[in-house]
Amino acid sequence: MISSNSIKRVREGLQDYIGSKVVVKCNKGKRRTTINQGVLESTHSNVFVVKYSNQLDEKYHRISYSYTDLLTKSVEFSIIRENY
């Protein structure tokens, strides 16, 4: 069982990276996986929002993910660190 303390720690950890480039790998079941690169836009009490840009039509899309998805590993999240 996932405790509210675990969710709080994940949320607090992500707040430091708002505005950073991220890669989100989402397991959609039956061997279907999507990998998207975007920007961590915001964190809320139960979800975090990632903003993606579509290269074809130059529109932005936002997708929210729950912290429990991270804890159950149905969503994998990584920060892109840029080298200077």
Mean pLDDT by 10 residues, the chain (84 residues): 85 92 90 90 94 80 91 90 69
- Indicate the domain borders of the chain: 4-79
Classify burial at 52, counting beta carbons within 10 Å of its beta carbon; exposed 0-12, middle 13-18, buried 19 or more. middle
Does the domain spanning 4-79 belong to CATH 2.40.10.10?
no
For 25-48, write each residue's pLDDT tens digit.
998 888 899 898 999 999 998 999
pTM of the model: 0.83
Q: Closest Cα to residue 46, out of 17, 71, 18, 16?
A: 71
